[in-house]
Chain A
Amino acid sequence: DTAVSQTPKYLVTQMGNDKSIKCEQNLGHDTMYWYKQDSKKFLKIMFSYNNKELIINETVPNRFSPKSPDKAHLNLHINSLELGDSAVYFCASSQALAGHNEQFFGPGTRLTVL
Chain B
Amino acid sequence: ILNVEQSPQSLHVQEGDSTNFTCSFPSSNFYALHWYRWETAKSPEALFVMTLNGDEKKKGRISATLNTKEGYSYLYIKGSQPEDSATYLCASVWNQGGKLIFGQGTELSVKP
Contact = CB atoms under 8 A, between A and B. Distances in A.
A108 B44 CA distance: 10
B68 to A, nearest CB: 13
By secondary structure, the A interface counts as: loop
B94 to A, nearest CB: 8
Nearest to A56: B99
Contact of B46 (A90, A97, A102, A106): A102
A101 B49 contact: yes
Nearest to A55: B97
Contacts, number: 55
Contacts of B44: 43, 90, 103, 105
Interface in A30-71: 40-45, 48, 55-56, 58
Contacts of A55: 97
B45 A105 contact: yes
A4 B45 CA distance: 12
Contacts of A100: 31-32, 49, 51, 93
B6 to A, nearest CB: 11
B86 interface: no
Contacts of A102: 34, 46, 49
Interface in B1-60: 31-32, 34, 42-46, 49, 51
A103 B99 contact: no
Contacts of A103: 34, 44, 46, 100
Given A99-B95, A100-B51, A40 B43 contact: no
A99 B46 contact: no
The 3 nearest A-B residue pairs measured at CB: A99-B93, A102-B46, A105-B43
17 contacts: A4-B43, A40-B104, A45-B99, A45-B101, A55-B97, A58-B99, A90-B43, A90-B44, A98-B96, A98-B97, A99-B98, A100-B31, A100-B51, A102-B49, A103-B34, A104-B46, A108-B43
Interface of A: 4, 40-45, 48, 55-56, 58, 90, 97-108
